[in-house]
């Protein structure tokens, strides 16, 4: 079985038409959801880019491997380190079974050669090594602050104002990268990889830079969506994903390939109209409210994955364990893994093994969900919005009945608060952490 993971950047829970968006049209993802499984309770390992991607790659909470920091929440172009060499990535795991591996898009786990995808189990790499808003070089007539760029002036921005590098393996081949065509070129590269490796098992990780700001799209998609420029960008992503699915069908690979689509974290609400929506969920990127870490997710594998809407719990960390099971690879026994095998849910629609979700921010456990109930021990808004509050009496929400986390029911259910609190204390008591990797920088920003 082949595996393809398609990761969007900052896509909100409510940004696809199959997840309820009334203005953005995503027919290809909608079709995948109809033919496969739409997961409505699927989570990432963190609410910002770097630790979320570390969780996906390693099947481990990023607080375990030093990729979660209270100093720098993500890696920057002036960061000196990256994913520790001791970590085992999905790519390295699948290579044990003879898989060819390719990575296309945003890596964000270290831009120096020893931390790039080609040093972490991927045979090939083509992409931008960090976020597309970094290395910002504004024209002289721009005098606004960072947030004003997105909330007031985003249509005036030029792709040349973001001096991000496009890399092939370990070499920079274009700088600044032309972001108007980057989604199309990522797809072209992915299609070549699929065709070149159609006769052998492969793992392809496609991590789009969008819809993270700055927003750019191909001219033929501009002004096409009722959702504005943000909608244009998401609709182009949907089109490019459709090209991947069409290629799998044309090459007769659709019957032996699992495709997973999700996002690295929720919408960046502070960018206002330049960001997306979490739909019925509370808040967005950067927070441990549901809108920050619950993501729109689709599993597709015609003839194998049983079509359904899945309301059970799942996380990106489960992909490491699930892919290993499908490929017949033993799991590493020298480290703690945080993933579960979801194959029984995917292929037989049976009850899955996951019953809890842990919501870490920076290096602290902010919240825990067990079953339908989620307790918040610490709350804080995203990116400077709202004070950090340690709750002596944890907040409690039934996020099945109340996904918007509007009604605190802690007083009605002290037994559930106590149960989740005990779980959190026990988990933290056993948790082993590596030193903070993200704090190391070459200079101050």
d(CA 297, CA 314): 10
Q: Rg (Cα) of the chain, in Å, rounded?
A: 20
Judging by beta carbons within 10 Å of its beta carbon (0-12, 13-18, 19+), is residue 444 exposed, middle or buried? exposed
d(CA 236, CA 242): 10
Going by pLDDT thresholds of 50, 70 and 90, the confidence category of residue 124 is very high
Assign a CATH topology to domain 357-430: Arylsulfatase, C-terminal domain (3.30.1120)
Residue-wise pLDDT for 199-220, tens only, equals: 999 999 999 999 999 999 999 9
Q: Catalytic: 108?
A: yes
d(CA 97, CA 94): 5
Q: Which of 108, 111, 208, 376 is catalytic?
A: 108
Whether the predicted pLDDT of 134 surpasses 90: yes
Going by pLDDT thresholds of 50, 70 and 90, the confidence category of residue 194 is very high
Residue-wise pLDDT for 426-445, tens only, equals: 999 999 999 999 999 986 54
**pLDDT at position 445, please?**
44
Going by pLDDT thresholds of 50, 70 and 90, the confidence category of residue 158 is confident
What are the angstrom distances between the C-alpha of 235 and each of 159, 312, 318? 19, 28, 28
Going by pLDDT thresholds of 50, 70 and 90, the confidence category of residue 386 is confident
Residue-wise pLDDT for 229-285, tens only, equals: 999 999 999 999 999 999 999 999 999 999 999 999 999 999 998 999 999 999 999
Q: What pTM was estimated for this model as a whole?
A: 0.97
Q: Mapping DSSP to helix (H, G, I), strand (E, B) and coil, where does residue 237 land?
A: helix
Section 363-367 average pLDDT: 97
Q: Which of 49, 208, 212, 376 is catalytic?
A: 49
Both tokens of 215, joined, read: 């927003």
Section 168-176 average pLDDT: 98
CATH code 3.40.720.10 region(s) in the chain: 2-355
Whether the predicted pLDDT of 163 surpasses 80: yes
CATH code 3.30.1120.10 region(s) in the chain: 357-430
Q: Catalytic: 49?
A: yes
Residue-wise pLDDT for 68-101, tens only, equals: 999 999 999 999 999 999 999 999 999 999 999 9
Going by pLDDT thresholds of 50, 70 and 90, the confidence category of residue 155 is low
Specify the CATH architecture of the domain 2-355: 3-Layer(aba) Sandwich (3.40)
For the chain, what is the mean pLDDT?
95
């Amino acid at each position: 079985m082949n595996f393809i993971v398609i990761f969007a950047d900052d896509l909100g829970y409510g940004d696809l038409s199959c997840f309820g968006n009334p203005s953005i049209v995503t027919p290809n993802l909608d079709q995948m959801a109809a033919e496969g499984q739409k997961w409505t309770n699927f989570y990432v390992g963190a609410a910002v880019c770097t630790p979320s991607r570390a969780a996906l790659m390693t099947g481990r909470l990023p607080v375990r491997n030093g990729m979660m920091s209270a100093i720098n929440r993500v890696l920057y172009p002036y960061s000196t380190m990256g994913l520790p060499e001791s970590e085992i990535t999905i790519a390295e795991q699948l290579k044990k079974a003879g898989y060819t591996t390719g990575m296309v898009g945003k890596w964000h786990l270290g831009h120096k050669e020893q931390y790039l995808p080609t040093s972490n189990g991927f045979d090939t790499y083509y992409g931008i090594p960090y976020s597309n808003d970094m290395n910002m070089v504004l024209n002289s007539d721009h005098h606004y602050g960072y947030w004003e760029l997105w909330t007031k002036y985003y249509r005036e921005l030029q792709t040349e104002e973001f001096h991000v590098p496009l890399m092939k393996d370990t070499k920079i081949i274009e700088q600044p990268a032309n972001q108007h065509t980057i989604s199309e070129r990522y797809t072209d590269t992915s299609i070549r990889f699929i065709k070149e490796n159609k006769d052998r098992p492969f793992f392809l990780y496609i991590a789009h830079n969008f819809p993270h700001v700055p927003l750019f799209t191909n001219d033929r998609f501009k002004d096409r969506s009722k959702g504005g420029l943000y909608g244009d960008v998401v609709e182009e992503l949907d089109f490019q994903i459709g090209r991947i699915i069409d290629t799998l069908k044309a090459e007769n690979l659709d019957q032996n390939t699992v495709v997973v689509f999700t996002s690295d974290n929720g919408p960046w609400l502070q960018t206002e109209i330049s960001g997306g929506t979490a739909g019925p969920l509370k808040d967005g990127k950067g927070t441990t409210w549901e809108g920050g870490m619950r993501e729109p997710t689709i599993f597709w594998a015609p003839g194998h994955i049983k079509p359904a809407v899945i309301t059970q719990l799942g996380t990106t960390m489960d992909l490491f364990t699930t892919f290993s099971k499908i490929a017949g690879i033993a799991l590493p026994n020298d480290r703690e893994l945080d993933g579960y095998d979801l194959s029984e849910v995917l292929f037989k629609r049976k009850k899955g093994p996951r019953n809890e979700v842990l919501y870490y921010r920076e290096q602290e456990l902010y919240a825990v969900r067990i079953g339908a109930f989620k307790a918040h021990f610490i709350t804080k808004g995203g990116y400077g919005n709202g004070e950090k509050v340690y709750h002596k009496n944890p907040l409690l929400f039934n996020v099945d009945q109340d996904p918007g986390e509007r009604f605190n029911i802690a007083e009605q259910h002290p037994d559930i608060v106590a149960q989740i609190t005990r779980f959190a204390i026990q988990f933290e008591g056993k948790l082993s952490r590596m030193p903070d990797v993200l704090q190391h920088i070459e200079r101050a920003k």
